[in-house]
């Protein structure tokens, strides 16, 4: 069962590994990311950040979609973390996920800031509007204790 899908460019770190994991009572963290799968150094550092007693799985976006849709992940209380809004969009569109948590994305010359840590491009804004339009509940929330902000209020 998917407990949370979160966009966080840092992937697995303290807020995710402890605050969000505990908040949603996850027993498995899925890092869905095409580049991490091919990067042994990043995989090793993510494994070091894994909370004790929690399963960590690192898969490509396609393999993540296939695993979720096959039912193999149903036995877990799953926290999915992706690096980008585009990756979250792919999972939502292909797996029927109904809720998205936006944690943080990097600021660049192409982005605009919509919250303390969320920076989006015009293309990402269109993806978020599409998700809201199909009934996906998209909220910005850094940590569980912060108030959740509906993304449509800041777009």
pLDDT 10s digits, 97-143: 999 999 999 999 999 999 999 999 999 999 999 999 999 999 999 99
* CA separation, residue 74 to residues 37, 67, 132 (Å): 22, 9, 25
**Distance from the Cα of residue 47 to its chain's centroid:** 17
Q: Which token pair is 20?
A: 């969000």
Q: What is the pLDDT of residues 77-102, one digit of tens each?
A: 999 999 999 999 999 999 999 999 99
Q: Could you identify the residue written with the tokens 């990067």?
A: 39
What is this structure's pTM?
0.96
What is the CB-side half-sphere exposure of residue 54 using CA atoms within 13 A? 28
Q: Could you identify the residue written with the tokens 């799953």?
A: 78
Sign (positive or negative) of CA dihedral 9, 12, 15, 16: positive
Helix (H, G, I), strand (E, B), or coil: what is residue 106? coil
Q: Which positions ≥6 away from 132 have C-beta within 8 Å? A: 138, 151, 152
- What mean pLDDT value characterizes the chain? 96
Is the pLDDT at 64 greater than 80? The verdict is: yes
């Amino acid at each position: 069962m998917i407990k949370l899908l979160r966009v966080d460019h840092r992937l697995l770190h303290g807020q995710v590994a402890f605050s969000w994991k505990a908040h949603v009572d996850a027993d498995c963290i899925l890092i869905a990311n095409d580049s991490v799968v091919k990067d042994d150094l990043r995989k090793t550092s993510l494994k070091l950040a894994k909370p004790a007693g929690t399963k960590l799985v690192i898969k490509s976006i396609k393999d993540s979609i296939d695993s979720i849709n096959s039912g193999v992940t149903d036995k877990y209380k799953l926290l999915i973390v992706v690096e980008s809004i585009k990756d979250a969009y792919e999972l939502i569109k292909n797996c029927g996920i109904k809720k998205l948590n936006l944690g943080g994305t990097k600021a660049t010359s192409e982005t605009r800031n919509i919250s303390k840590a969320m920076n989006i491009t015009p293309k990402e804004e269109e993806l978020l509007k599409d998700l809201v339009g199909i009934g996906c509940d998209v909220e910005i929330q850094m940590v569980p204790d912060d108030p959740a902000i509906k993304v449509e209020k800041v777009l």
